[in-house]
């Protein structure tokens, strides 16, 4: 008789091995920006040879962590889905139980500060920006956090007033989900509602991407909108 537990353990060990290599882990963290990257872009980002990047990406695609797209001669990869992004972000949040190591350069310090202030976590907002929005929605009765995240009827109306419908066409994806923020160590809003809000913030000019990482900056227009809609003080977003 075959041991189902043994089979599961073997599959789990093989899956975990995909992220046991630092280069592959850095690829996955970079892809948390929700965009598709070429193998060359990822190789330059991590600082490895193109042949090395291609080998590692092949393993990640074969293991189901990444999805591959080809356009002409170009090969693009992205995280397989939101569930994969959630897994990577959750693992990242649990890898630094203490304060992170001090940055070794002004550039690194600036990048870390920008990421902590506001960033995208696959397809939703994170960092102090994501936390501020999540907490403001909770205070205003749009979101419940008592036993997991839940959007209230008032919250659904709030989204509808912005022309957003997180309940429509979501398939198996939850409307809202708590995602542990690896810099703030508190949950921020994810799920279909988080994705809708992030897309709207970028499309409407509330936020703009900065640098080559996932960092975003709240614009003056975004500060005014978030103050009006959620009562968030502009100082909390800077």
Domain containing 49 — which CATH number? 1.10.10.10
pLDDT value of position 108: 53
Sort 121 into a burial class: Cβ within 10 Å, 0-12 / 13-18 / 19+: buried
Least confident range of 28-42, 127-141, 147-161, 171-185: 171-185
Q: Among residues 103, 108, 85, which one has the least CA distance to residue 31? A: 85
The answer to whether 180 touches 117, Cβ cutoff 8 Å, is no
Please give the average per-residue pLDDT across 47-60, as a whole number: 94
- The total number of structural domains in the chain stands at 2
**N- to C-terminal Cα separation, the chain:** 61
60 and 93 in a common domain: no
pLDDT value of position 104: 56
pLDDT of 100 > 60? The answer is: no
pLDDT value of position 9: 86
pLDDT value of position 63: 93
38 and 124 in a common domain: no
pLDDT of 152 > 80? The answer is: yes
Percentage of the residues of the chain whose pLDDT score is greater than 90: 57
pLDDT value of position 211: 74
pLDDT of 107 > 80? The answer is: no
Dihedral sign, Cα of residue 33, residue 36, residue 39, residue 40: negative
Q: Which residue has the tokens 């995909």?
A: 18
Q: Among residues 63, 70, 73, 69, which one has the least CA distance to residue 28? A: 63
pLDDT tens digit sequence for 209-238: 987 668 999 999 999 999 999 999 999 888
160 and 192 in a common domain: yes
Please give the average per-residue pLDDT across 178-193, as a whole number: 89
Domain extent, residue 16, equals 4-80
List the structure tokens of 75.
């090969």
143 or 167, higher pLDDT: 143
Give the domain-ending residue among 64, 80, 96: 80
Spatial distance between the Cα atoms of 165 and 200, rounded to a whole number of angstroms: 11
Q: Which residues pair with 101 in a beta bridge?
A: none
71 or 193, higher pLDDT: 193
Give the domain-ending residue among 80, 95, 117: 80
218 and 134 in a common domain: yes
Q: How far is CA 144 from the centre of its chain?
A: 21
Total-model pTM? 0.74
Helix (H/G/I), strand (E/B), else coil: 183: coil
Helix (H/G/I), strand (E/B), else coil: 143: strand
Q: Which residue has the tokens 């900056």?
A: 217
124 and 63 in a common domain: no
Spatial distance between the Cα atoms of 69 and 28, rounded to a whole number of angstroms: 16
Average pLDDT score, the chain: 87
List the structure tokens of 192.
């279909």
pLDDT tens digit sequence for 57-82: 999 999 999 999 888 778 899 999 88
The Cα-based distances of 232 to 133, 180, 204 in angstroms read 8, 21, 18
157 and 105 in a common domain: yes
95 and 195 in a common domain: yes
55 and 37 in a common domain: yes
95 and 41 in a common domain: no
73 and 114 in a common domain: no
Give the domain-ending residue among 80, 108, 137: 80
95 and 199 in a common domain: yes
Q: How confident is the model at residue 1 (pLDDT cuts 50, 70, 90)?
A: very low
List the structure tokens of 229.
């809609």
């Amino acid at each position: 008789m075959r041991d189902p537990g043994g089979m599961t353990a073997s599959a789990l060990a093989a899956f975990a091995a995909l992220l046991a290599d630092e280069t592959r882990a850095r690829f996955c963290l970079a892809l948390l920006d929700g965009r598709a990257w070429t193998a060359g872009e990822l190789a330059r980002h991590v600082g490895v040879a193109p042949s090395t990047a291609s080998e590692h990406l092949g393993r990640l695609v074969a293991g189901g962590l990444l999805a591959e797209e080809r356009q002409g001669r170009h090969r693009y990869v992205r995280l397989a889905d939101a569930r994969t992004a959630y897994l990577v972000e959750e693992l990242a949040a649990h890898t630094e139980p203490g304060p992170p190591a001090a940055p070794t350069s002004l550039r690194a310090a600036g990048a870390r500060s920008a990421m902590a202030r506001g960033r995208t976590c696959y397809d939703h907002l994170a960092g102090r920006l994501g936390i501020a929005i999540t907490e403001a929605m909770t205070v205003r009765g749009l979101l419940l956090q008592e036993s997991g995240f839940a959007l209230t009827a008032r919250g659904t109306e709030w989204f509808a007033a912005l022309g957003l419908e997180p309940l429509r066409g979501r398939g198996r994806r939850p409307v809202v989900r708590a995602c542990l923020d690896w810099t703030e160590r508190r949950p921020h809003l994810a799920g279909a509602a988080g994705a809708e809000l992030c897309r709207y913030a970028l499309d409407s000019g509330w936020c703009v991407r900065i640098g080559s990482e996932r960092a975003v900056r709240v614009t003056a227009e975004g500060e005014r909108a978030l103050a009006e809609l959620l009562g968030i003080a502009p100082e909390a977003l800077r």
